[in-house]
Amino acid sequence: MQALKNIAQLKSLKTSQLPKRVAEEIFPLFQRYIQKEYHIAIGVSSGVDSMCLSNLLILRYRQKKYPLSHIHIIHCNHKFRTQSEQEERYIQQYFEGANIHISHRNKKEKSDENSLRNRRYQCFDHVMQENNISLLFLGHHLEDRIESTFFNTMR
């Protein structure tokens, strides 16, 4: 499947163009948890995992004719890396027209991994409460889980 330049390109994407596993395993999971009236949030970092997850959720909403206005994209710019500003602009352009919530860290605040994670989850919680959001989706892959487990074991 070819990479999309923005969410508008999802309009022309057909379910038959997706890997079989998406239609048979992932979409039924979404169906089990997401109802038409739900507002959902997707934590997006611009990485492959969160971009793929957001595209699949948006595609599913389009197919089911659920209101796209019920999808909220949340991005936390910690201003920690040099490419942080570029990633924020990319997300704003990619999801143009969607509900985008961007959180910025003051450069004077702590920047250790635990502080950044806590700040990110505070941001998620704030946006969810403010917008009556039912579910939060986060994209992670197996190495993320292994890394987190190893990190927590080392504490």
Give all domains of the chain, ordered by start, each with its CATH number.
35-154 (3.40.50.620)
Query: Which among 144, 122, 154, 129 has a CA at the least distance from the CA of 53?
Result: 144
pLDDT (tens digit, 9 = 90+) per residue, 18-65? 778 887 888 888 888 899 999 999 999 888 889 989 989 998 898 899
pLDDT (tens digit, 9 = 90+) per residue, 104-143? 766 667 778 888 888 888 899 999 999 999 899 988 655 5
Q: pTM of the prediction?
A: 0.79
- pLDDT value at residue 139: 82
* Token pair of 53 as six digits: 């997850």
